[in-house]
Amino acid sequence: MSNTESQKLMVEWHSINWRKLERSVYKLQKRIYQASARGDVKAYRRLQKTLMKSWSARALAVRRVTQDNQGKKTAGVDGVKSLTPKQRVELTGNLNLGTKVSPTRRVWIPKPGTEEKRPLGIPTMKDRALQALVKLALEPEWEARFEPNSYGFRTGRSCQDAIEAIFLAIRAKPKFLLDADISKCFDRINQEALLRKLNTSPTIRRQIRAWLKAGVMDGKQLFPTSQGTPQGGVISPLLANIALHGMEERIKQFADTLPRKNGSSKRDNRRSLSLIRYADDFVILHEDLTVVQRCREIISEWL
């Protein structure tokens, strides 16, 4: 069905059956997840393309950024704060990858518990909706691959899950703990390395690269963005998780090289050393202090 046909059939925004749209998008996402889990690149790329072209996914992406999200009233560089139902329908029809990207607008927000302020880059309404659409397609592919102990900004996972993972790691015996966070994590991500790691279709790759390179307007001045992902974008938490994916596996590889204690197996060694991550905060737990200190060096090199 062509765009114009679907818009002719298109009813008023407030009378859309959202449950039906969510179900059809969820079915596609489930198939992307399954294809990614079995390593079928061809299948999940085809499904991602289908998802991003579907009217349901585009309408949901627009709804998410214009109605559901907390920051929906914050304007980007275009000054648009909200859309009428008619404009939402129009935006849904015009939501296509490959359109020109606008720079983000810098907003400074207070950092809880400190005097510092944190910069947010607020994209325009159209870019936000596009990011939400790309996220709908990319998230299930990566959810199938993400590591078991990464808990930040993931569907169906919360801070409490990370707390439980730590509790389970220290319940049986006392352990040393390295509590760390990656300084200026979002701002320092290497963009080229991230794009290589994404290893996605050329269309999505071009679009994400355009967002990363869009620049940021602070007041009336435009600053280039040659590294990092813009905090404030819908897709940024997912990109940060992708950039940090592999940390836990690196630590488990080190666990394999540790000497085995009386009768313990390789699996026991892997179990005894844990890395639990929530966004850019993580802890490393092991009963031997020297192992924890060595892990710190390994993670620094890995980063």
For residue 118, what are the β-bridge partners?
Answer: 109
| pLDDT averaged over every residue in the chain | 90
Instruction: List, edge to edge, every strand of the sheet that includes 117-122.
Output: 117-122, 104-110, 216-218, 221-223
Amino acid at position 82, single letter? S
Confirm if 14 and 63 have CB atoms less than 8 A apart.
Answer: no
Read off the pTM.
Answer: 0.90
Which residue, among 23, 90, 74, 80, has the nearest Cα to 231 in the 3D structure?
A: 74
5 or 296, which is more confident:
296
Model pLDDT for residues 106-129, shown as the tens digit of each residue: 888 888 888 888 888 899 999 999
For residue 218, what are the β-bridge partners?
Answer: 221
Model pLDDT for residues 5-62, shown as the tens digit of each residue: 455 445 688 889 999 999 999 999 999 999 999 999 999 999 999 999 999 999 999 9
Phi/psi of residue 116, nearest 5 degrees: -65, 160
The alpha carbon dihedral of 47, 52, 57, 63 has a sign of positive
- b/e for 142-171, b at 16 or more Cβ within 10 A? bbbebbebbbbebeeeeeeebeebbeebee
Residue whose token pair is 């910069």: 119
Q: What is the pLDDT of residue 7?
A: 53
